[in-house]
Amino acid sequence: MTTRTVYKFGFFLGFAVLLVVLFLPMPGEPQMTWVEVETGRGRSGYAFAWLLALVPPLLPFVVVIEAGLSGYRGFSSPFRYVALALAVFGVAGLVASFLIPRLIRR
């Protein structure tokens, strides 16, 4: 059985990671680092390359969703609903990151 303290810790840890990723770039590192990965041939290689391309832009939204859900499980009312709203905003950002590029292309 997972206690409420673990969920509270997960909420604050997720929120701290999000703040570090968004607002503190690593000193001395370029903004974009290129990595070459051999994905192979066929459908599995194409799927792996597609997933690898989606991870960096979607990672902040996934962290917000996970932090919000763990905050919902860890806190009591009324802060519980603030954490749930955070998770809803994360889902909205995740959906918008797929829909907005499609709308821009049209």
Higher-confidence residue: 55 or 14?
14
pLDDT in tens, 37-95: 666 677 777 777 777 777 777 888 888 898 888 989 888 888 889 888 989 999 998 89
The arithmetic mean of pLDDT across residues 9-36, rounded, is 74
Lookup result for tokens 């907005």? 100
Higher-confidence residue: 38 or 97?
97
Window from 24-28, 52-56, 68-72, 101-105 with minimum mean pLDDT: 24-28
In order of 12, 53, 56, the CA distances from 49 in angstroms are 32, 6, 12
Strand ranges for 10-100 from DSSP E:
none
Cα–Cα distance for residue pair 17/59, rounded to 1 Å: 11
User: Residue 7: which of 63, 62, 72 has the closest Cα?
Assistant: 72
| pLDDT number for residue 88 | 92
The 8-class DSSP code of residue 23 comes to H
